A and B are shown apart, each in its own frame.
Chain A
Amino acid sequence: MTDPGAAAIAPARTPGQWLAVVARQRELTLVAIMIVLGALVTLSAPQFLTVDNLSQVAVLASITAVAACGQALVVITRNIDLSVEAMIGLVAYCVAVTLENHTFDAAGAIAFGLVIGLGLGVINGVIVTLFKVPSIVATLGTLSIFRGFDYLIAGSHQVPVAGLPEGFTGAAAASIVGIPFFVLIAIVIVVVGSVILRSTRFGRQLYAVGSNPEAAAILGIPSRRVVFTAFALCGLLSGVAGIMWVSEFGTINGTSATGFSLAVVAAVVVGGVNIFGGSRTLAGAALGALFLGFIANALILVGLSQFWLQAIYGVVILAAVSADAFILRRVQRAAVRRDR
């Protein structure tokens, strides 16, 4: 493809290295695509570029972003959590029903939801690390188990918006200094999470376990404890997303959030969290969530049916992993060439 002679003569930047530069800027690439896409959509649907519409997109995307941060922690350790949708659904129903029955006030219900989310994450963590079940099997199983419990306690009951306190459902629409409250939650989680990943022992261990499990074991990193913590945190963040879900959608039943795992995993993959483990950031995952929300909104405005959404998620996942693998291979080839 590229002329090896030319690459050897030009020492500065081979095409492979250029690709590496672009690859490191996954976030910038996503932003660029969004700007181009946004411009195109605005041409056919001017209402796209309104504050109302964009903030609605951001609010919806922030729920996905919070769940995607949790998923990213798990994916960094070379695992996956397919049960996030069931955790979000179960937490959402528990929170909604306790609010409807006045078992707890808003603060109590939120604490209750967080505890349930953490508990579900701990169950996943135990099955994966203590019982040594591969995460794909473990979370496929708990997806069915958690959803089964959700159906079981919900039955045919549906919590209506009217059953929830006004302050609770209003939170989704609220904004502080012009920024939607939900977006602030997502930003805080991304910032705190990034600081933890970057500058704490746990964060470095998380990357070490993901990028080279054997080396991590030799270094004495307690990889099982690290993976366990990642799953527990993923449960906790799914709990946060579940509470946000109640506030945003209001009407909650046993099937809430069905199929949502796919959007969360897609956000993580698109955001450049390397599925082979060990790289990338939470900001990327959150941006991936925004990217998907953006596409979903654009679809509606352009007048394409919602049925396209699922297919587009699929294409986006395949495109993102293919791009990652392609770039990785080019970078490695460039490195080999340089060493010669």
Chain B
Amino acid sequence: MTTPTKGRAWTHLLARWETLLVVALVGLIAAGTSLSPFFLDAGNFSNLIAALIEVAIMSLPMTLIIIAGEIDLSVESMAGLASAILGFLWTAGVPLWIAIPVVLLVGFAGGLLNGLLVARGGLPSLVVTLGTLALFRGLALIVLGPIGVSDFPPAFTEFGFGHVPGTLIPWPFVVYAIIAILLGIVLHRTWVGRQVYAIGKNTGAARFSGVRVTRVKVGLFALTGLISALAGVILTARLSSARADAGQGMTLTVVTIVLLGGVNIFGGSGTIPGVVLAFLAVAVMQNALRLASVSVEVQSIALGLLLILSVIIPTFAHQARSAIGRVRGGRPPPADSVPRGETALP
């Protein structure tokens, strides 16, 4: 809106959502440290990240889905289905090096189903993925029943809660970092990423400019299914237990992290670095609440409030900013109609 002269570039950086997240993160860490001297301890940090790692992994493809103007509520059930199938195959004597690729394939297929119904069938993603939220969870229950499978080999569970040798970095965090970097490059540096933004901003215009909207959307949903299944495998390894109800309720946290990361719920804008920062902020917040011995109930209330506030605050910040802009400019935007002399004002 405004021409980024030197004076305004500074306020621009300050007003950026990612900057606010960094400030919030520093504030939360300060608050946590005042609660407990062990807060900044590397071991504690590694634990607080490990506890949310599956949610964090699922938030990455969800970022792309929401930027493209859709939503996928079925991710938590896909993680549960992945866990259930892994447990079922392991009990049936299938070695893990076969079982895990099969599970990932199921994730891809489930995501493909979502994508085809939404993009090819023209159905609203909210309802489709609400349907598959029930369907995938139901299939998980049918496959494994109410039992838990926990006799996995140590090498597998070590991958779930072990650390990279010599460091305190959990193995699943390495997976998260790789996916974050890959999706970050795809979204911010390639033509595929630009197409995702174009679809989210204006699907019709994107289609007329030659973007294969259907193909991109189907691809995004399939990718989300695949990565959710991977999150289910990691969850199984970390808890060293395969259960049909694994991952229940995770979608709320996934969507909270994505929206807190500055992704517009209506599509068209958002960044991977923002979502990574939001994951760290939520992890630190949950840990601080736990250290302050706040009950799980209050934590779930806090998470719900955070989700709603992460949509309300940007809306109002935007309104406030344009109001300030009006006062400063002495007349309403657009900025290019503002007389040249006025842009020089502080």
Q: Chain A's nearest CB lies how many Å from the CB of B7? A: 31
Take A148-B297, A148-B301 as given contacts and tell me if A140 and B131 are in contact as well, using a CB distance cutoff of 8 Å: no
Total count of chain A residues near the partner, CB < 8 A: 42
User: B301 and A152: CB pair below 8 A?
Assistant: yes
- B interface, over-half SS: helix
Take A314-B136, A317-B127, A317-B130 as given contacts and tell me if A141 and B308 are in contact as well, using a CB distance cutoff of 8 Å: yes
Any A CB within 8 A of the CB of B98: no
Q: Which residues of chain B in 273-318 are interfacial with respect to chain A, using CB atoms and an 8 Å cutoff?
A: 295-301, 303-305, 307-308, 311-312, 315
Take A141-B307, A275-B127 as given contacts and tell me if A136 and B122 are in contact as well, using a CB distance cutoff of 8 Å: no
User: A310 and B123: CB pair below 8 A?
Assistant: no
User: A141 and B305: CB pair below 8 A?
Assistant: yes
User: B308 and A80: CB pair below 8 A?
Assistant: no
User: B255 and A137: CB pair below 8 A?
Assistant: yes
Binds B, one of A37-45, A48-56, A125-133: A125-133
Take A141-B308, A265-B130, A314-B138 as given contacts and tell me if A152 and B295 are in contact as well, using a CB distance cutoff of 8 Å: yes
User: A318 and B117: CB pair below 8 A?
Assistant: yes
Q: Chain B's nearest CB lies how many Å from the CB of A264? A: 11
User: A143 and B315: CB pair below 8 A?
Assistant: no
Q: Chain B's nearest CB lies how many Å from the CB of A78? A: 10
User: B135 and A131: CB pair below 8 A?
Assistant: no
Take A133-B312, A134-B266, A321-B128 as given contacts and tell me if A311 and B139 are in contact as well, using a CB distance cutoff of 8 Å: yes
User: A262 and B255: CB pair below 8 A?
Assistant: no
User: B311 and A133: CB pair below 8 A?
Assistant: yes
Q: Chain A's nearest CB lies how many Å from the CB of B282? A: 13
Take A127-B308, A138-B308, A152-B297 as given contacts and tell me if A313 and B126 are in contact as well, using a CB distance cutoff of 8 Å: no
User: B259 and A147: CB pair below 8 A?
Assistant: no
Q: Chain A's nearest CB lies how many Å from the CB of B217? A: 16
Any B CB within 8 A of the CB of A249: no
Q: Chain B's nearest CB lies how many Å from the CB of A12? A: 29
- CA–CA, A82 to B316, complex, Å? 24
Any A CB within 8 A of the CB of B137: yes
Chain A interface (Cβ within 8 Å of chain B)?
A: 80, 127, 131-134, 136-138, 140-145, 147-149, 151-152, 262, 265-266, 269, 275-276, 305, 307-315, 317-318, 321-322, 325, 329
- 15 additional A-B pairs beyond A134-B311, A308-B142, A311-B134, beta carbons within 8 Å, are A131-B312, A134-B265, A136-B126, A140-B252, A141-B307, A142-B304, A142-B308, A144-B300, A148-B304, A152-B301, A265-B130, A307-B145, A318-B132, A318-B135, A322-B121
Subset of 26 A-B contacts with CB under 8 Å: A127-B312, A131-B312, A133-B311, A137-B255, A141-B308, A144-B307, A148-B304, A149-B297, A149-B301, A151-B297, A151-B300, A152-B298, A152-B301, A307-B145, A311-B137, A311-B141, A313-B134, A313-B135, A314-B133, A314-B138, A315-B131, A318-B128, A318-B132, A321-B128, A321-B131, A325-B121
